[in-house]
Structure 1
Amino acid sequence: MPSDRPRHILPVIVLAQFAGTSLWFSGNAVLPELERALALDDRALAAITSAVQLGFISGTLVFALLNIADRWRPRDVFLACALLGALANAAIVVLPQLDGGRYALLLTLRFLTGFFLAGIYPVGMKIAASWWREGLGGALGWLIGALVLGTALPHLLRGALPGGAWQAVAVSVSVLAVAGGVLLHQTVGEGPYLARAPRFEPRAVTQAFANADFRASAFGYFGHMWELYTLLAFTPLLLAAYAARHGVALDVSLWSFAVIGAGAIGCVVGGQLSRHVGSARVAFGQLSISGLCCLTSPLAFALPPPLFLGFMLLWGITVAGDSPQFSAMNAATAPRAYVGSALTIANCIGFAISVVSLQVMAWVAPRLPVAWWFLPVAIGPALGLLACRRLALRGA
């Protein structure tokens, strides 16, 4: 570590990212209680998750078009979005007291939470990049690992708190997000390599996708995104269905945290491994394993509990572990003149694909046995592997 970079920089940014992104799946973690309190139907899971994703897409585009993180100090933006996102998240606790329009308001609040996450996750990355001239890839693994662990945290809180205390989960996550924003704002300034983002250029979409390497990396990332958030959203249902089928006692909330949070291991270990074998090979390997998990998931339901849980942990590690590597590949292969715009476009398309996948799963779920739900999801990893195989063979 260069002597001019304080040692606390990376740990603080990692903690702040972890705290802020815990807002992402707060609504999902307490969905059973929300369904009872608001009389929601079985489609609520896909709708609530999609609302956050659409909010994040919208926020990313607005922040890019208005150059928010350039007009104001990134740490100020991070803190403001942590406060506003926490407020939108905590507001769901008042919904049961309302007379009407509660479902529409719930979706609006989840959309707003996603919108303000666009000022936490990407802006945190920008702050981190301002402290690294080189070696950012390793830091990226830690940062995205923190994001993954943050998204899993609400499940842990729900499992640890007394049954029915869903309001406490929502409020606790919001308080944590605010604490993370304050911590970063007070202890981490912008680094010496802070770069002003180039103006967002919509025409970058044609320039970027005309590049064969960027196209290969981006389409690999799209295949990854088809699988990622669908598994994260439906993990509690898979675990609950397995427990009911085999008649075993399983703490669904705690195991959901373990499976989703295991992705942090894949992010950190993959980041270190990429230094030796390249991002493309790490991403290809992890996407291959998670895609194979999709294909073999019906067989996994026949396994005894220890093997099934081990299978789910492996799936959790690899489904998220390739995220930092696809981000690094997209950045490395984008046209130099349009890096920021190309990454924004790729992220927005990726999250839009996750919304489509969630809605497809909502349609599939009532029509297939639960053990077969993820067999159609394997199409995403398969197409992603076909797209990025040339980069992996080349060791990019």
Structure 2
Amino acid sequence: MDRVLSDYRTPLHVLPLLALSTLFASSVWFAANAVMPSLAKALGDGQTPADITTAVQLGFIVGTFTFAALAIADRFAPSRVFMISSALAALSNYSVVWVSDQYSGVLIARFLVGFFLAGIYPVGMKIAVSWYPKGLGMALGFLVGALVLGTAFPHLVRALGQDWPWQTVIQTTSASAVIGGLIIWTLLGDGPNRPVAGELHPRALIDAFRQRNFRASACGYFGHMWELYTFWAFVPLWLVAYQEWHQIDPLPVSLWSFLIIAAGSIGCAGGGLLTPRIGPPPVAGIQLSVSGICCLLSPLIFLLPVEAFLLALVIWGVAVAGDSPQFSALNAVNAPPQLAGSALTMVNCIGFSISIVSLQAMEALVGVLPDQWLFLILVPGPLMGMLYFKPLLQDQTS
């Protein structure tokens, strides 16, 4: 078996197809955020991007536990699970059009989108492992980079069609998700080294946390998750606040939201290319530090001239997502082998739970704090993440 793995060469078409399918399938994640002003009008006053995004995150948490507890991707072909989940996520996303005048209906629809995304993102990573038994850091760099592009994609659709009905963005992203699932199922399939996870063990995280390196990488990931989705959800709001505070001509908010979020794909792919040379810990540590510095300097960034302001946000966008694949790879490497499946599932669920707390905390501060101070609430994430991640960095340099 070892000889087979050492002789195996992944075909060149695998990574582009895996990235393309992930990009399309994940486009439903932030579809509602891209049309939030129009959706808020349909729902009435008082509806917030934090609530809509929280519904997706909560659905993803429940879906991840469900998929893991039932061993869905072990009992069935992961490529088939990916395709069916993409189709159901697309249907759930499209249903927002049907219930756009009912707040509870929209929240349920977005919850279901998150639930079925649990059959796309984690299962896509499982498919990547089956094709790349070695060099996982680079493969995950491109995979998560594609996920970031997919997250940003609805903002691009909105930017290209400012005069289109908001429902077009929902319809386009739903169609994209179906296409993503078909790419995996018809053109790629499962790799020859399909891993099989064990049963879900509730105490796995406690036992895994006794391992110093796993504790360091998991806590670094938790700090990253405190910042990531809240930054993405509130970038459009910050752009609008900036132009109003500076009394400048309106910015193309949808276009710049796309560019800032999509910039994270550069950090993911670039980090993946760097890992064979310097290792995952420095790549993750540098990017988490840069995004933390951006958080800390955010009140000053808000005061910059428009060109410098937008450039700073793009740099922040590169760093805020660029460490994600490296933390995922480090968690996978450092988890005790006999507990890896359960420990990684629970780490993901805790990470997304942390993002919900961050989203709601930010929403509570909107209108209470001046807009330029809002992103300071994100500082504890990178700061605590780096403090706990430090042992892995020290090991790398020693």
TM-score grouping bracket, smaller chain normalisation: over 0.9
Match of 2:3 in 1: none
Q: Output the CA distance in 1 between the equivalents of 2:263 and 2:42.
A: 31
For 1:248-263, list aligned pairs within 5 A: 248-263=249-264
Q: Output the CA distance in 1 between the equivalents of 2:94 and 2:160.
A: 19
The correspondence for 1:25, drawn from 27, 30, 39, is 30
Match of 2:141 in 1: 141
Q: Output the CA distance in 1 between the equivalents of 2:20 and 2:45.
A: 34
Q: Tell me, yes or no, if the aligned pair for 1:79 and 1:182 is still in contact at 8 Å.
A: yes
SS in structure 2 of the partner of residue 229 of structure 1: helix
Match of 1:320 in 2: 321
Match of 1:121 in 2: 121
Tell me how far 1:128 sits from its aligned partner. 1.4
SS in structure 2 of the partner of residue 130 of structure 1: helix
For 1:273-284, list aligned pairs within 5 A: 273-284=274-285
Match of 1:346 in 2: 347
The correspondence for 1:68, drawn from 68, 72, 80, is 72
Q: Output the CA distance in 1 between the equivalents of 2:283 and 2:81.
A: 33
Q: Tell me, yes or no, if the aligned pair for 2:217 and 2:389 is still in contact at 8 Å.
A: yes
Q: Output the CA distance in 2 between the equivalents of 1:216 and 1:284.
A: 11
SS in structure 1 of the partner of residue 99 of structure 2: helix
CA deviations over 1:314-342 (Å, ceiling 9, x no partner): 00000000001111111111111111111
Match of 1:384 in 2: 385
Match of 1:266 in 2: 267
SS in structure 2 of the partner of residue 10 of structure 1: helix
Q: Does 1:79 align with 2:80?
A: no
Q: Output the CA distance in 2 between the equivalents of 1:131 and 1:252.
A: 38
Match of 2:172 in 1: 172
Q: Output the CA distance in 2 between the equivalents of 1:82 and 1:282.
A: 31
Tell me how far 1:4 sits from its aligned partner. 5.0
Tell me how far 1:78 sits from its aligned partner. 0.6
Q: Tell me, yes or no, if the aligned pair for 1:23 and 1:85 is still in contact at 8 Å.
A: yes
Q: Output the CA distance in 2 between the equivalents of 1:36 and 1:114.
A: 23
TM-score (norm 1): 0.96
Match of 1:235 in 2: 235
Q: Tell me, yes or no, if the aligned pair for 2:23 and 2:149 is still in contact at 8 Å.
A: yes
Q: Tell me, yes or no, if the aligned pair for 2:144 and 2:265 is still in contact at 8 Å.
A: yes
Q: Does 1:103 align with 2:103?
A: yes
Tell me how far 1:267 sits from its aligned partner. 0.3
CA deviations over 1:339-382 (Å, ceiling 9, x no partner): 11111111000000000000100111121011000112101110
Q: Tell me, yes or no, if the aligned pair for 1:33 and 1:164 is still in contact at 8 Å.
A: no
Q: Output the CA distance in 1 between the equivalents of 2:172 and 2:315.
A: 29
Q: Does 1:9 align with 2:10?
A: no
Tell me how far 1:2 sits from its aligned partner. 6.9
Q: Tell me, yes or no, if the aligned pair for 1:51 and 1:108 is still in contact at 8 Å.
A: yes
CA deviations over 1:58-95 (Å, ceiling 9, x no partner): 00000000000111111111111111000000111122
CA deviations over 1:239-273 (Å, ceiling 9, x no partner): 11111222133100000000000000000111111
Q: Does 1:185 align with 2:178?
A: no
Match of 1:371 in 2: 372
Tell me how far 1:188 sits from its aligned partner. 1.0
Q: Tell me, yes or no, if the aligned pair for 1:281 and 1:393 is still in contact at 8 Å.
A: no
Tell me how far 1:164 sits from its aligned partner. 5.2
SS in structure 2 of the partner of residue 186 of structure 1: helix
Q: Amino acid of the residue matched to residue 197 of structure 1?
A: A
Tell me how far 1:5 sits from its aligned partner. 3.2
Tell me how far 1:21 sits from its aligned partner. 0.6
Identity of aligned residues (%): 52
Q: Tell me, yes or no, if the aligned pair for 1:87 and 1:174 is still in contact at 8 Å.
A: yes
RMSD: 1.4
Q: Output the CA distance in 1 between the equivalents of 2:245 and 2:7.
A: 54
Moved over 4 A (4+): 1-4
Q: Does 1:57 align with 2:58?
A: no
Q: Does 1:94 align with 2:129?
A: no
Q: Output the CA distance in 2 between the equivalents of 1:92 and 1:325.
A: 34
Q: Output the CA distance in 2 between the equivalents of 1:374 and 1:231.
A: 8
Q: Tell me, yes or no, if the aligned pair for 1:40 and 1:103 is still in contact at 8 Å.
A: no
Q: Output the CA distance in 1 between the equivalents of 2:273 and 2:213.
A: 23
Q: Amino acid of the residue matched to residue 50 of structure 1?
A: T
Count of equivalent residues: 391
Q: Output the CA distance in 2 between the equivalents of 1:9 and 1:331.
A: 21
Match of 1:212 in 2: 212
Tell me how far 1:285 sits from its aligned partner. 0.7
Q: Output the CA distance in 1 between the equivalents of 2:205 and 2:62.
A: 17
Structure 1 unaligned blocks of 5 or more:
none
Q: Output the CA distance in 2 between the equivalents of 1:3 and 1:211.
A: 32
Q: Output the CA distance in 2 between the equivalents of 1:40 and 1:85.
A: 27
SS in structure 1 of the partner of residue 28 of structure 2: coil
